[in-house]
């Protein structure tokens, strides 16, 4: 039987494409072709290639921007201070992209003030804190496909802030094609308000009642309290900074005297508290103790102990691991490892209300030296006066401060070429003698000085006028 022999045998088709395992980048061109291999009846091999079909990858520009820290804050109303929010920008597209960044004050029905300056920083190490090496503001950032960056928005507060004022600051990221990164909430759902930090200013947010060491009792006006949380020393230090009282942020308690130690101990006893953390810590292992400050690097603590009340045989740095401090129920101190958990004593460094006295002096001519003013009193120069003529001067003090001004004394020293007119001194319209010790006023001829004791001045009070005459030599 005659058989037809095939012209080619064992034809194999190979598909060659440009598709890689990793996700294709936008703009990439994938070239596709087919190669056929075959042989003839004599065993000789051949190949043939198809035409090329190209596949281009569409560029996808897509990004999300999420606020990850500081969306809702309550902070102390400290004029000209700074507040921060942290945002995460993610390039969900398939091309590298440079995003233009813009942070701005918002104005709506809730916002009541604006930051004086708003800046954006790249959080290079991603720790959510503006570190010393991250202080150059940025207006853009470039992200590879799939990459993320943390951004810190810094808002500088105005000089005037009131309780319950609200500041709103937003962050936007726009790619090179004008697309704005979408905002997402914590669960990934769309939320157009999610990149707005809302900061409410408070003078108090504590859920306990601090006790003020009153100035009248020899105190420093600071307020002290007990925070009954079960935290490590380091967590207590950070936690204390979250509390605000009378406009001041908290810190772990610092103690500068036996009197302050006794006051703090009484605060602790009133709360039926046990052993509590205080703010002392070593900057280096086995080194001297300093008072720690929230938000300040350990190496930068700069308040050494000026007073100590260590318990017997303390500090002993047991096992070389005790670098923090606690107060026992008898007021004595002990060094302790930071891993222990307990409550802590908190301090708010409130400024003492102080008096502030202003003094006013007025004059009028009395040419005849008869004790009667020739015209109205004023602060202008008494011009063109001659030797032998007199001037009447009167002065008073006003307390414009925030607390009682005690023992206000008015002192007037005669200038050259002027003499005091004897027995001309009055206070509140009543005549006073020139002698010392018998009433509020006196004249010291040796010092050529008039002195009047105006007494105590309450807040907003003004003393009576002290009046006297001087004669031109």
228, 292: one domain: yes
- On the 0-12 / 13-18 / 19+ scale of CB atoms within 10 A, 114 is middle
Domain boundary among 348, 369, 404: 348
Q: Is 154 in the same domain as 134? A: yes
Query: What's the whole-number mean pLDDT along residues 306-311?
Result: 97
Q: Model confidence over 23-43: pLDDT tens digits?
A: 678 888 888 878 878 786 888
Residues 180 and 282 in one domain: no
Do residues 52 and 68 share a domain? no
| Cβ contact 256:388 at 8 Å | no
How buried is 195 (Cβ within 10 angstroms: 0-12 exposed, 13-18 middle, 19+ buried)? buried
What percentage of the chain has pLDDT greater than the value 90? Answer: 57
Per residue in 118-130, pLDDT (tens digit) is 999 999 999 988 8
- Of 26-35, 233-242, 311-320, 417-426, the range with the lowest mean pLDDT is 26-35
Residue 339 has which token pair? Answer: 């891993």
For residue 334, give both structure tokens.
Answer: 């002990």
Note whether residue 2 is domain-resident: no
Q: How far is the CA of 238 from the CAs of 170, 241, 294, in angstroms?
A: 26, 6, 6
Instruction: Please state the separation of Cα 74 from the chain's center in Å.
Output: 12
Q: Domain count of the chain?
A: 4
Q: How confident is the model at residue 10 (pLDDT cuts 50, 70, 90)?
A: low
Span 262-291, pLDDT tens digits: 999 999 999 888 999 999 999 988 899 999
Q: Answer whether residue 50 is part of any domain.
A: yes
**Quick one: pLDDT band at residue 4, thresholds 50, 70, 90?**
very low
Asked whether residue 20 carries a pLDDT value surpassing 60, the answer given is no
- Going by C-alpha positions, the residue among 257, 274, 273 that lies closest to residue 222 is 257
Domain span at 407: 357-472
User: Which pLDDT belongs to residue 22?
Assistant: 61
Is the residue at 138 inside a domain?
Answer: yes
* Domain end point (choices 202, 224, 251): 202
Average pLDDT over residues 141-148: 95
Q: Which CATH number covers residue 160?
A: 2.60.40.10
Contact 457, 355 (CB under 8 A): yes
Quick one: average pLDDT of 212-234? 94
Residue 375 · residue 325 · CB < 8 Å: no
SS3 317: coil
Mark whether 51 and 67 lie in a shared domain.
Answer: no
User: Which of 470, 209, 231 is CA-nearest to residue 363?
Assistant: 470
Whether the predicted pLDDT of 368 surpasses 50:
yes
**N- to C-terminal Cα separation, the chain:** 159
Look at residue 69 and tell me whether its pLDDT is greater than 70.
yes
The average pLDDT across 124-141 equals 92
Contacts of 52 (CB under 8 A, 6+ apart): 31, 32, 33
Residues contacting residue 469 through CB under 8 Å, at least 6 positions apart: 366, 369, 371, 390, 391, 392, 393, 420, 421, 424
Both 96 and 132 in a single domain?
Answer: yes
Does 18 score more than 80 pLDDT?
Answer: no
How sure is the predictor about 111, in pLDDT bands with cuts at 50, 70 and 90? confident
- pLDDT of 326 above 90: yes
* Residue 432 preceded by cis peptide, ω within 30: no
- Give residue 109's pLDDT: 73
Residue 251 is predicted with a pLDDT of 96
195 vs 331, higher pLDDT: 331
Retrieve residue 43's tokens. Answer: 């065993």
pLDDT at 335 over 60: yes
CA angle 146, 150, 154 (to 5 degrees): 150
Q: Domain ends where: 202, 230, 258?
A: 202
- Position 153 scores a pLDDT of 95
Q: What angle do CA 54, 60, 63 make, to 5 degrees?
A: 165
The rounded distance, in Å, linking the Cα atoms of 390 and 351 is: 47
Q: What is the pLDDT of residue 334?
A: 97
Residue 447 has pLDDT above 60, yes or no: yes
Residue 461 in any domain: the answer is yes
* 176-222 residue pLDDT tens: 999 998 775 544 444 545 678 888 888 888 999 999 999 889 999 99
pLDDT-based confidence at 339, cuts 50/70/90?
confident
DSSP-assigned beta bridge partners for residue 128: none
**pLDDT at 260 > cutoff 90:** yes
Would residue 1 count as lying in a domain? no
More confident residue, 242 or 310: 310
- What percentage of the chain's residues is helix, strand, coil (to nearest 5)? 5, 45, 50
Same domain, 27 and 69: no
3-state SS class at 22? coil
pLDDT above 70 for 51: yes
Nearest to 156 by CA among 130, 117, 125: 117
Strand stretches in 8-147, DSSP E: 8-16, 29-40, 45-49, 53-56, 63-69, 72-76, 82-91, 97-105, 117-122, 140-143
CATH of the domain at 325: 3.10.100.10
Q: What is the pLDDT of residue 200?
A: 83
5 pLDDT higher than 80: no
Whether 389 and 284 share a structural domain: no
**Which residue in this structure is represented by tokens 């980048």?**
25
Residue 456 has pLDDT above 60, yes or no: yes
Residues in the chain: 473
- Domain contains 256: yes
Is 383 inside any structural domain?
A: yes
pLDDT for 148 beyond 90:
yes
pLDDT at 6: 40
On whether both 374 and 458 belong to a single domain, the answer is yes
Higher local confidence (pLDDT), 469 or 197: 469
Pairing of the two strands 63-69 and 182-183: parallel
Taking each continuous run of H as one helix and of E as one strand, the counts in the chain are 2, 33
The per-residue pLDDT for 164 is 87
**Within this chain, do residues 35 and 116 fall inside the same structural domain, yes or no?**
no
Is residue 343 domain-shared with residue 380, that is, in the same domain?
Answer: no
* CATH code, domain with 366: 2.60.40
Say whether pLDDT at 1 is over 50.
no
More reliable by pLDDT, 156 or 1: 156
Is the entire prediction scored with pTM above 0.95? no
216 and 150 inside one domain:
no
- Residue 229 CA: distances (Å) to CA of 133, 334, 418: 34, 19, 71
């Amino acid at each position: 039987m005659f058989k037809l022999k095939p012209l080619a045998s064992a034809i194999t088709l190979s598909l060659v494409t440009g598709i890689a395992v990793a996700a294709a980048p936008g703009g990439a061109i994938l070239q596709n072709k087919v190669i056929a291999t075959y042989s003839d009846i004599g065993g000789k091999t051949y190949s043939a290639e198809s035409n090329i079909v190209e596949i281009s990858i569409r560029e996808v520009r897509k990004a999300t921007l999420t606020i990850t820290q500081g969306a809702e804050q309550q902070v102390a109303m400290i004029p000209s201070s700074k507040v921060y929010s942290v945002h995460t920008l993610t390039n969900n597209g398939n091309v590298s992209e440079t995003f233009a960044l813009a942070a701005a004050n918002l104005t709506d029905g809730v916002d009541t003030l604006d930051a004086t300056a708003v800046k954006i920083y790249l959080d290079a190490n991603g720790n959510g804190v503006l570190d010393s090496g991250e202080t150059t503001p940025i207006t853009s950032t470039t992200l590879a496909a799939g990459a993320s960056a943390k951004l810190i928005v810094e808002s500088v507060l105005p000089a005037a802030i009131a309780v319950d004022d609200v500041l709103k600051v937003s962050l936007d990221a726009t790619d090179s094609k004008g697309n704005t990164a979408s905002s997402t909430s914590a669960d990934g759902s769309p939320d157009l308000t999610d990149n707005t930090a809302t900061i409410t200013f408070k003078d108090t947010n504590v859920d306990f009642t601090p006790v003020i060491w009153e100035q009248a009792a020899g105190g420093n006006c600071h307020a002290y309290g007990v925070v009954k949380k079960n935290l490590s020393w380091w967590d207590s230090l950070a936690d204390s900074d979250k509390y605000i009282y009378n406009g001041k942020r908290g810190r772990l308690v610092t103690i500068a005297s036996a009197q302050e130690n006794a006051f703090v101990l009484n605060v602790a006893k009133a709360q039926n508290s046990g052993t509590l953390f205080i703010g002392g810590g070593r900057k280096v292992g086995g080194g001297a103790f300093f008072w720690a400050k929230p938000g300040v690097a350990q190496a930068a603590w700069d308040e050494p102990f000026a007073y100590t009340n260590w318990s017997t045989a303390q500090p002993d740095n047991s096992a070389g691991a005790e670098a923090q401090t606690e107060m026992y129920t008898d007021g004595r101190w002990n060094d302790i490892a930071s891993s222990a958990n307990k409550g802590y004593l908190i301090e708010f460094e409130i400024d003492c209300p102080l008096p502030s006295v202003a003094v006013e002096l007025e004059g009028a001519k009395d040419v005849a030296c008869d004790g009667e003013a020739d015209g109205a009193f004023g602060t202008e120069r008494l011009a063109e006066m001659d030797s032998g003529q007199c001037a009447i001067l009167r002065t008073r003090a006003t307390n414009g401060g925030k607390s009682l001004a005690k023992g206000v004394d008015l002192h007037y020293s005669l200038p050259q070429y002027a003499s005091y007119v004897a027995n001309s001194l009055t206070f509140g319209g009543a005549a006073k003698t020139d002698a010392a010790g018998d009433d509020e006023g006196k004249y010291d001829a040796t010092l050529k000085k008039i002195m009047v004791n105006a007494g105590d001045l309450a807040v907003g009070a003004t003393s009576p006028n002290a009046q006297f005459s001087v004669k031109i030599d």
